[in-house]
Chain A
């Protein structure tokens, strides 16, 4: 009798327990779906806003390379050609852009072209000097306002005073479209140029190189120090109060807000040591300080993961402690160490606040070529562009986010590759 009651209880409880299993499975599933949905939404937003930045609008312009206007002759040397009066050629080309233009219309039409057109006309000529005294049809970059209009990013149905282009300019643009004198092509400027006040010729090359130099500095500074510190702490340091204090404080340092490190850089590196402001050298040093604790923690974890039996084996055949550590433990921990370092570098790549503190937020219109040249960094560039009022910069910032995401993705892929390639099963 008693027995059957107990069985019944077990059965009813059993049902409840398996229901619990199912419920928790669905909770987990829902949570995962939610986070996936958010991620997809984020990526979609970035992509849909940013993909247009990879295209630019170009306009067909008829340029007359008249030698009198240029003040050049076919026999001119290269240096003389550099100094040709290309702005006059451009002015002439724009005046003849449409037949019978009034002075005010010319002024308006001039605003449909990028400021870079002078350079493009010049570059075309320098590459093909034989075109002197001929008329050439050249595709030149359109102004960002035209670009945005044709990409559908700015609206034309708002009142004229709230538009960048007025009605006359719009009618000219429409005419160009009708005559097939505009088209959209791949925006090479985005990848080859540095920042600019003009959205149509602003690119990420400058900030990308800046980020690269910064990461290089971070790696050079933090990797050896982190390896040294973690090997010492893990293998050589006596286990006493002081070591414990250091260990706790490394974890604390990993949690210090990054802007504090920026202040440190500003106060010490810039003001005391007088290192050059806004440079990858200083930015990298600050970020190295910031990522050191993270890397040390990762390095120590991978050193700890090497089974002590390996070290014992080495010691037992008479290796010294240093030999046992550097012949066996460190090489075995190296993949984990590298992975940790790359994760640390990825963290440094996305960091903005400390760079703002040391002046890497300055407007730098050229591509840096060294560690001590002022430069921007990718996240700061995004911040700068998001802040800009010009509509043309909005797609640029989304596209720059894509660039930094791909950069990060590649770094993490390398980390995963290293881990899988060299991971050892014990």
Chain B
């Protein structure tokens, strides 16, 4: 238990009067890929968005319980959301590059956080982030072209580069491949496998194959409850819970 990065304990989430999550407790290890799976509307994205407090954007959303990142409570009024989010990057379902140049997309984070003092440093960060996201070779000659001119898969990798650029420890991915074709998906999955060496990754996915391919831990959500969590191998071959079994074998969901 020494290297647990995120420790959730009894997290309840309400949208207005409707409860979306029921007492979620979870332990996420450092430098591992954790996949959150489950049928639509089961609350896996909601849980993901609790971790970097993106739920704050939804006014009727109320979160209670405790989530500790590096032993620091983040579900609290006192949490510095801005520095939390620079520590926890996020990649969204639909690629959402800023309508700016490829360079500016990646440079935005480091610039607002004042991570760089000179243009050269900034360039270095941008280049290394793009390299880490496996995009550099494809775009190195057109860094000044708009990010929106890239293909869907490239845009998503640009968003990953943008998240990496502020040097986070954790990357949250909310169905990052749902808008991509199989080839782009395969590239991203490979990338996730590489990123695992340096980052703790939590990925929400609808594709069980994807969860099986990229993750070490899998958590199965159903109707706002965490049904089962465990080693990916075990969940997909020999789950303890019959609901998990039914979902994995395609009997519902």
CB < 8 Å: which of A238, A308, A424 contacts B59? A238
Indicate the member of A239, A318, A319, A327 with the most B CB atoms within 10 Å. A318
Complex CA–CA separation, A345 to B97 (angstroms): 34
Closest to A425 in B: B148
Contact A313–B85 (Cβ < 8 Å): no
Interchain nearest-CB distance for A93 vs B (Å): 71
For this complex, 27 residue pairs linking A to B, each with C-beta atoms less than 8 Å apart, are A309-B92, A309-B94, A309-B96, A310-B98, A310-B99, A312-B54, A312-B96, A313-B96, A313-B162, A314-B98, A316-B54, A316-B85, A316-B89, A317-B108, A317-B112, A317-B162, A317-B166, A318-B85, A318-B112, A318-B113, A318-B166, A319-B112, A320-B82, A323-B112, A327-B112, A328-B98, A424-B99
Is chain A's interface secondary structure helix, strand, loop, or mixed overall? helix
Complex CA–CA separation, A239 to B16 (angstroms): 13
For A314, list chain B residues within 8 Å (CB): 98, 108
Interchain nearest-CB distance for A275 vs B (Å): 42
For B90, list chain A residues within 8 Å (CB): 316
Interchain nearest-CB distance for B69 vs A (Å): 14
Given contacts A318-B82, A323-B112, 16 further A-B contacts (CB under 8 A): A238-B59, A309-B92, A312-B57, A312-B96, A313-B96, A313-B162, A315-B85, A316-B89, A316-B92, A316-B163, A317-B162, A317-B163, A317-B166, A318-B113, A319-B108, A320-B82
Contact A317–B99 (Cβ < 8 Å): no
Complex CA–CA separation, A56 to B92 (angstroms): 69
Interchain nearest-CB distance for A401 vs B (Å): 42
For A332, list chain B residues within 8 Å (CB): 99
Closest to B56 in A: A315
CB < 8 Å: which of A238, A239, A315 contacts B54? A315
For B85, list chain A residues within 8 Å (CB): 315-318
Interface range on chain A: under 10, 10 to 19, 20 to 34, or 35 or more?
20 to 34
Chain B residues 105 to 153 lying within 8 A of chain A, measured CB to CB, are 108-109, 112-113
For B162, list chain A residues within 8 Å (CB): 313, 317
The yes or no answer to A307 lying at the interface (CB within 8 A) is yes
Can you list the 7 inter-chain pairs with the closest CB atoms, starting with the nearest? A318-B86, A317-B109, A309-B96, A316-B90, A318-B85, A313-B96, A318-B82
For A317, list chain B residues within 8 Å (CB): 85-86, 89, 108-109, 112, 162-163, 165-166
For B218, list chain A residues within 8 Å (CB): none
Complex CA–CA separation, A128 to B39 (angstroms): 94
Interchain nearest-CB distance for A60 vs B (Å): 66
For A318, list chain B residues within 8 Å (CB): 82-83, 85-86, 109, 112-113, 166
For A308, list chain B residues within 8 Å (CB): 57
For B86, list chain A residues within 8 Å (CB): 317-318
The yes or no answer to B159 lying at the interface (CB within 8 A) is yes
